[in-house]
A and B are shown apart, each in its own frame.
Chain A
Amino acid sequence: MIEVKGISKRFGTTQVLTDINAVFQKGKVNQIIGKSGSGKSVLAKCIVGLHVPEEGQVLYEGHSFHDMDRDEKKMIRQEIGMLFQGSALFDSITVMQNVLFPLQMFGTMSKSEMEDRAHSCLKRVNILDKDRLFPAELSGGMQKRVGIARAIAMNPKYLFCDEPNSGLDPQTSILIDDLIKEITEEFNTTTIVITHDMNSVMETGENIIFIHQGRKWWEGSKDDLLNSENKELNEFIFAGGLMRQVKKAMTGRS
């Protein structure tokens, strides 16, 4: 479980996050949603320690990340898997070497055990046949799958996905969403997904946090979403015609 308490972050004079409190549960797909520029990616970066908040704490299983020493932070980070918006694969090495990378850096396995582990991760995301290709030779969806394979290579306790569906077609997006959901259940990870894709929210969201103007504006489940009276949330989720029709079909109200 990850808990954030009173997180505030500013860049220069711009206040990006203000007093964010949230609990991200284990074994669930927790989603942070909001418009572009609302601060959701900054919140995720504060949680993983890439940004240091001016105020507040991030607690991993009750232990404050920012109070940890360098080695303790390193240990936590080895338990984190992260899927980046642009996949962030190392483009000068092959798919297989990308997945092997964290194992070689931190694993205590033999060479053959590492290769077996990398193979099983690639197989898990259905991309084993591309193991000798370079990232530039893969489609966006395939790169995301390799990103997931690399993220789960070390058996993470925490999985972060930053805009996992950006740039993907609807079909591939659903495949990636399903994969994230399955992996969360299989590995019992605390999964945090940052997204503004409402299909993804309705597909996988279990615990949803809506960030607006750097503040936590709303929290609930995907079932609560459609019936919320929150004006800003409704403006966000019903900006597209499809979601308005979904609501009408489900509730009979427009």
Chain B
Amino acid sequence: MGIIEHIGRYFLLLKDTFSRPEKASIYWRRTVEEMDLLGLKSLGIVALLSFFMGAVITIQTKTNIDSPLIQAWVVGFATRQSTILEFSPTIIALILAGKVGSNIAAEIGSMRVKEQIDALDIMGVNSAGYLILPKIVASMFINPFLVMVSMFLSIFGGYVAGTASGIIGSSDYLQGIQTNFIPYHITYALIKTVVFAFIIATVSAYQGYYTKGGTREVGISSTQAVVYSNVVILIVNYALTQFLLI
């Protein structure tokens, strides 16, 4: 199957996904369940990763700009900018593509090979809408929350690492993270997050929904979901940055 056919089939799946739900109350209940499964259960890994990544950014920045001509607060400023503009929205999206994307593809793929999706179709349920729409809505709703937590913890991690190791003073770091703050950068990061959430949910669901075969193929779909989600995220990241920041 060629790439054009895949893209066509992806958009046809999206059309089915966004068609009228059978019973809104059941879809809403499933959306809340997915928020817990896809979002809140990822909070731990996001928090851990963000804290230590912020710490590393601070230490690396300091070692790379250790010059009497550069003021000390620049370390805090660079940590904040790296975190808000790229690390939290993009790197966390790539991590979530691995964790959540593989989960989505494996769940839907298993349902396909066990004929559970056929069972839904035969009952007259719009299987694409029932299975995929709640995941899309939940991801687009909960991921911005995860990214905001990530931003806070990354900057906090930088503060802890910088002050604990003595490479930057507390007041310098705090001055740095407040210097030249542009609120639009938060908006830019959240727009990227919502778009990436959509990509993760839909690309992974597509891989799972069209799984053919058995458990081995479910594993392959799961891997492909992560790989393709990451590739699409990186391409769209470039396009969005070009479009929103320049």
Q: Residues of A at under 8 Å CB distance from B?
A: 45, 48-50, 73-78, 80, 82, 84-86, 88-91, 101-102, 104-106, 154, 160
Contact = CB atoms under 8 A, between A and B. Distances in A.
Contact of B116 (A85, A90, A102, A104): A90
A154 B121 CA distance: 15
A202 B114 CA distance: 29
A78 B118 contact: no
A40 B15 CA distance: 31
Contacts of A76: 124
Contacts of A91: 114, 116
B229 to A, nearest CB: 23
Contacts of B125: 105
A104 B122 contact: no
Interface residues of B, number: 13
A99 B71 CA distance: 68
B119 interface: yes
A50 B118 CA distance: 7
A91 B122 CA distance: 18
Specify which of B116, B118, B124 lies most central, judged by the most chain A CB atoms within 10 Å of its CB.
Answer: B124
B124 A82 contact: no
Given A49-B122, A86-B114, A106-B124, 8 more contacts: A49-B121, A50-B122, A77-B122, A84-B115, A86-B115, A104-B23, A105-B22, A160-B122
Contacts of A78: 123-124
B122 A105 contact: no
Contact of B123 (A86, A89, A102): A102
A50 B124 contact: no
Nearest to B23: A105
Given A105-B22, A105-B26, A106-B22, A88 B124 contact: no
A77 B118 contact: no
Nearest to A82: B122
Contact of B118 (A74, A75, A88, A101): A88
A89 B23 CA distance: 20
Interface in B97-148: 114-116, 118-119, 121-125
Contacts, number: 53
B140 to A, nearest CB: 23
B22 A88 contact: no
A185 B115 CA distance: 27
Given A77-B122, A77-B123, A105-B125, A85 B23 contact: no
A48 B122 contact: yes
Contacts of A85: 115
Nearest to B22: A105
Given A86-B114, A104-B23, A50 B123 contact: no
26 contacts: A48-B122, A49-B121, A49-B122, A50-B118, A50-B122, A75-B124, A76-B124, A77-B122, A80-B122, A80-B123, A80-B124, A82-B119, A85-B115, A86-B114, A88-B114, A88-B115, A88-B116, A88-B119, A90-B116, A104-B23, A104-B26, A105-B124, A106-B123, A106-B124, A154-B123, A160-B122
Contacts of B123: 77-78, 80, 101-102, 105-106, 154
Nearest to B116: A88
Specify which of B114, B115, B118, B122 lies most central, judged by the most chain A CB atoms within 10 Å of its CB.
Answer: B122
Contact of A77 (B23, B26, B115, B124): B124
Q: Which 6 A-B pairs have the closest CB atoms?
A: A77-B124, A88-B115, A88-B119, A74-B124, A78-B124, A84-B115
Contacts of B121: 49-50, 77
A82 B26 CA distance: 22
A105 B115 CA distance: 19
A154 to B, nearest CB: 8
A104 to B, nearest CB: 6
A80 B119 CA distance: 10
A89 B117 CA distance: 10
B119 A84 contact: yes
A176 to B, nearest CB: 17
Specify which of B22, B119, B125 lies most central, judged by the most chain A CB atoms within 10 Å of its CB.
Answer: B119
Contacts of B118: 45, 50, 84, 88
Nearest to B117: A88
Contacts of A106: 22, 123-124
Contacts of B116: 88-91
Nearest to A162: B115
Nearest to B111: A90
A102 B97 CA distance: 32
